[in-house]
Structure 1
Amino acid sequence: MPTSASAPTKPHRTDGRPTLRERFDAMRNLRPFLRLIWQTSRPLTLASLGLRLVRAFLPVAMLYVGKLIIDEAIRVVALDGGVPTLAQAWSSGTLDTLAGLLALEFALAIGSDLLGRLVSYADALLSELFTNATSVRLMEHAATLDLEDFEDPDLQDKLDRARRQTMGRMNLMGQLFGQVQDAITVASFAVGLLVYAPWLILLLAVALVPAFVGESHFNALGYSLNFQWTPERRQLEYVRQTGASVETAKEVKIFGLHRFLIDRYRTLAERFFLANRALARRRALWGTLLAALGSLGYYVAYGYIAWRTVRGDFTIGDLTFLAGSFLRLRQLLEGLLVGFSQVAGQALYLDDLFSFFAIEPEIASPADPAPFPQPIRQGFVFENVGFRYPGSERWAVRHLDFTLHAGEVLALVGENGAGKTTLVKLLARLYDPDEGRILLDGRDLREYDLDALRANTGVIFQDFVRYHLTVGENIGVGRMEAMDDRARIADAARRAMADEIVAGLPGGYDQVIGRRFRNGVDLSGGQWQKIAIARAYMRDAQVMILDEPTAALDARSEYEVFRRFKELSHRRTAVLISHRFSSVRMADRILVLEQGRIEASGSHAQLMAEGGRYAELFELQAAGYR
Structure 2
Amino acid sequence: MPAAPRPAAPGRQPNPTLRERFQAMRNVPPFLRQIWAASPALSIASLGLRLVRAFLPILMLYIGKLIIDEAVRLVGLGVEFDSLEEAWRSGLLRPLLWLLVLEFGLAIASDLIGRLVSYAETLLSELFTNATSIRLMEHAATLDLEDFEDPELQDKLDRARRQTMGRTNLMAQIFGQLQDAITVVSFAIGLLVYAPWLILLLAVALIPAFIGESHFNALGYSLNFQWTPERRQLEYVRQTGASVESAKEVKIFNLHRFLVERYRTLADGFFRANRALARRRAFWGTLLAALGTLGYYIAYAYIAWRTVRGDFSIGDLTFLAGSFRRLRQLLEGLLVGFSQVASQALYLDDLFSFFAIEPEIRSPENPIPFPKPIKQGFVFENVGFRYPDAERWALRNLDFELRAGEVLALVGENGAGKTTLVKLLARLYDPDEGRILLDGRDLREYDLDEVRANIGVIFQDFVRYHMTAAENIGVGQIDAMDDDARIREAARRAMADEVVDSLPGGYDQLIGRRFRTGVDLSGGQWQKIAIARAYMRDAQVMILDEPTAALDARSEFEVFQRFKELSEQRTAVLISHRFSSVRMADRILVMDQGRLEASGTHEELMADGGRYAELFELQAAGYR
What's the TM-score once normalised by structure 2's chain length?
0.98
The correspondence of residues 114-513 of structure 1 with structure 2, limited to 5 A, is 114-513=112-511
Match of 1:8 in 2: none
2:577 is aligned, of 555, 566, 579, to 579
What CA deviation, in whole Å up to 9, does each residue of 1:567-611 have, x standing for no partner?
000000000100000000000000000111110000000000110
Write the distance in 2 (CA, Å) between the matches of 1:217 and 1:85.
61
Residue identity matched to 2:621? A
What CA deviation, in whole Å up to 9, does each residue of 1:362-415 have, x standing for no partner?
000000000000000000000000000011121000000000000000000000
Secondary structure at 2:476's aligned position in 1?
Answer: coil
Query: How many residues are aligned here?
Result: 615
Work out whether residues 211 and 290 of structure 1, in 8 Å CA contact, stay in contact via their aligned partners in 2. Answer: yes
Secondary structure at 1:78's aligned position in 2?
Answer: helix
What CA deviation, in whole Å up to 9, does each residue of 1:63-100 have, x standing for no partner?
00100111111111122433552111111111101110
Secondary structure at 1:330's aligned position in 2?
Answer: helix
Match of 1:7 in 2: none
Write the distance in 2 (CA, Å) between the matches of 1:200 and 1:85.
44
What CA deviation, in whole Å up to 9, does each residue of 1:15-74 have, x standing for no partner?
441112211111101111111111111000001100000000000001001001111111
Residue identity matched to 2:553? A
Q: CA deviation at 1:352?
A: 0.3
Residue identity matched to 1:314? F
Write the distance in 1 (CA, Å) between the matches of 2:202 and 2:83.
45
What's the TM-score once normalised by structure 1's chain length?
0.98
Q: CA deviation at 1:518?
A: 1.4
Write the distance in 1 (CA, Å) between the matches of 2:271 and 2:246.
27
Work out whether residues 460 and 547 of structure 1, in 8 Å CA contact, stay in contact via their aligned partners in 2. Answer: yes
The correspondence of residues 536-555 of structure 1 with structure 2, limited to 5 A, is 536-555=534-553
Match of 1:610 in 2: 608
Bigger drift between 78-87 and 242-251 goes to 78-87
Write the distance in 2 (CA, Å) between the matches of 1:543 and 1:120.
55
Secondary structure at 1:275's aligned position in 2?
Answer: helix
Is the alpha carbon distance of 1:41 and 1:246 closer, same or farther for their aligned partners in structure 2, counting shifts above 3 Å? same
Is the alpha carbon distance of 1:13 and 1:348 closer, same or farther for their aligned partners in structure 2, counting shifts above 3 Å? farther
1:27 counterpart = 2:19: no
Unaligned runs of 5+ in 1: 1-11
Q: CA deviation at 1:238?
A: 0.1
Write the distance in 2 (CA, Å) between the matches of 1:545 and 1:391.
28
Write the distance in 1 (CA, Å) between the matches of 2:79 and 2:236.
81
The correspondence of residues 12-161 of structure 1 with structure 2, limited to 5 A, is 14-161=12-159
2:533 is aligned, of 535, 555, 576, to 535
Write the distance in 1 (CA, Å) between the matches of 2:496 and 2:141.
29
Work out whether residues 16 and 225 of structure 1, in 8 Å CA contact, stay in contact via their aligned partners in 2. Answer: no
Write the distance in 2 (CA, Å) between the matches of 1:328 and 1:472.
62
What CA deviation, in whole Å up to 9, does each residue of 1:159-193 have, x standing for no partner?
00000000011111111100100000000000100
Match of 1:588 in 2: 586
Identity of aligned residues (%): 83
Match of 2:6 in 1: none
Write the distance in 1 (CA, Å) between the matches of 2:612 and 2:513.
41
Bigger drift between 474-483 and 75-84 goes to 75-84
Write the distance in 2 (CA, Å) between the matches of 1:276 and 1:35.
33
Is the alpha carbon distance of 1:13 and 1:42 closer, same or farther for their aligned partners in structure 2, counting shifts above 3 Å? farther
Unaligned runs of 5+ in 2: 1-9
Secondary structure at 2:547's aligned position in 1?
Answer: coil
What CA deviation, in whole Å up to 9, does each residue of 1:421-448 have, x standing for no partner?
0000000000000000000001000000
Q: CA deviation at 1:13?
A: 7.4
Residue identity matched to 2:12? T
Residue identity matched to 1:250? K
Write the distance in 1 (CA, Å) between the matches of 2:391 and 2:444.
24
Residue identity matched to 1:315? S
Residue identity matched to 1:18? P
Residue identity matched to 1:447? E
Write the distance in 2 (CA, Å) between the matches of 1:23 and 1:13.
20
Write the distance in 1 (CA, Å) between the matches of 2:592 and 2:272.
50
Runs of 4+ in 1 over 3 A off after TM superposition: none
Residue identity matched to 2:19? R
1:566 counterpart = 2:564: yes
Secondary structure at 2:77's aligned position in 1?
Answer: coil
Write the distance in 2 (CA, Å) between the matches of 1:341 and 1:613.
67
Secondary structure at 1:477's aligned position in 2?
Answer: helix
RMSD, aligned α-carbons: 0.9
Secondary structure at 1:478's aligned position in 2?
Answer: helix
Residue identity matched to 1:311? R
Residue identity matched to 2:255? L
Work out whether residues 417 and 595 of structure 1, in 8 Å CA contact, stay in contact via their aligned partners in 2. Answer: yes
Work out whether residues 496 and 537 of structure 1, in 8 Å CA contact, stay in contact via their aligned partners in 2. Answer: yes
Residue identity matched to 1:496? A
Write the distance in 1 (CA, Å) between the matches of 2:314 and 2:272.
52
Residue identity matched to 2:99? L
Write the distance in 2 (CA, Å) between the matches of 1:611 and 1:117.
82
